Amino acid sequence: MKAFISCKVLDFPGGKVVFSPEMRFLSESPSVYSQCYRVLDDNGQLISHNNFVPVSKEVAVKMYSNMVTLQTLDTIFYEAQRQGRISFYVTSIGEEAINIASAAALTSDDIVFPQYREPGVLLWRGFTLQEFANQCFGNKADYGKGRQMPIHYGSNKLNYFTVASTIATQIPHAVGAAYSLKMDKKDACAVTYFGDGGTSEGDFHAAMNFAAVTESPVIFICRNNGWAISTPTSDQFRSDGIAVRGQAYGVRSIRVDGNDALAMYSAVHSARHMAVNEHRPILIEAVTYRVGHHSTSDDSTKYRPANEIEWWRMARDPVTRFRKWIEINGWWGSEAESQLRSSIRSQIAERAEKPPVNDLFTDVYDNIPSNLREQEKLLKETINRHPKDYPADVPI
């Protein structure tokens, strides 16, 4: 009778409970680490006995072209910031596969809630290089009318919510949007991106639990690049990476080689199918390395060895790895490479008219209140009194 009682399963309101006479604590770390899904080795060769979602020649070539374009875009705007032509910039160097491959596996109806290192998703969806330039230079054609700092892109047309600097706030927003899509019976999901540092914020944990309980079709994509600015993951958490946290919240999860474009495409493609058709959240931990500095305000050689950075740049570059694979398939060659790289820079025109000063006071209230009208008046009077202290190319 005692043995029966000790092994009885109790259907408790908080979940099923299996009783045991043995006192046993859960280990603080797993005896076996989570596997990392991979399709291509470092030389672009398919790993034997793999299972991945097939990619057509057209999609593969577009993926590679977009990765190269993203690299070039980073070079152009990084140099522009160093020359003082824009105030700030964040590169995606080393994380191009996460950007482009994930975007390729989604549909245009899926709603994206980015952090700030996912411009490749916008690029895939049709955001032009000139539109990127418009935002970074804050000119009149910028959709934010020059009111945001550089790299805070957004596009209502492309279902890409505007970037917010505040870490992890986009994660619960994505869950709310996903729940709305579910209620409206839409054939779409929400997708949110964040770094390993974002998982140290309360928003991440609240969002994971919210998504699991509401069974919302949302894909969480964590770029685990080892560093939250200068804070290594070892100073952030002791768990086996990020994917294991999904299981704790009841969220299906997978760890993926974030530098393997085929693995990322396959994982996101499968995750989307499950999210939309099974109404469930999915967590993807993309293991990668931030080759560039955190931003143009950072010098990462102050907290990590330069030879480590260079090794990842040369030996683990996701763009080079994917190029080798499409070359092996006969889909790419040196002539196509040369034509692609020479055509990218010509698509950007830097000089453009700035938005007028009065745009600072619009788009918040339907009818601008008197206090803002007074501020606008005072600002224009100040500019007229001290014209040398203000940019001459901003219309008053």
Q: Catalytic residues, which ones?
A: 79, 165, 294-295
Q: Tell me the residue length of the chain.
A: 396
List the one residue out of 175, 201, 207 whose CA is nearest residue 190. Answer: 175
Identify the burial level of 198 via C-beta atoms within 10 angstroms of its C-beta, where 0-12 means exposed, 13-18 middle and 19 or more buried: buried
Identify the burial level of 115 via C-beta atoms within 10 angstroms of its C-beta, where 0-12 means exposed, 13-18 middle and 19 or more buried: buried
Contact present, 121 and 57 (Cβ < 8 Å):
no
Strand 9-12 and strand 15-18: the pairing is: antiparallel
Q: How far apart are the first and last CA of the chain?
A: 87
Burial 13-49 (b: 16+ CB within 10 A, else e): eeeeeeeeeeeeeeeeeeeeebebbbbbeeebeeeee
Roughly what angle, to the nearest 10 degrees, separates helices 261-278 and 96-105? 40
Strand, coil or helix: what is 60?
A: helix
- Beta carbons within 8 Å of 365's beta carbon, 6+ residues apart: 372
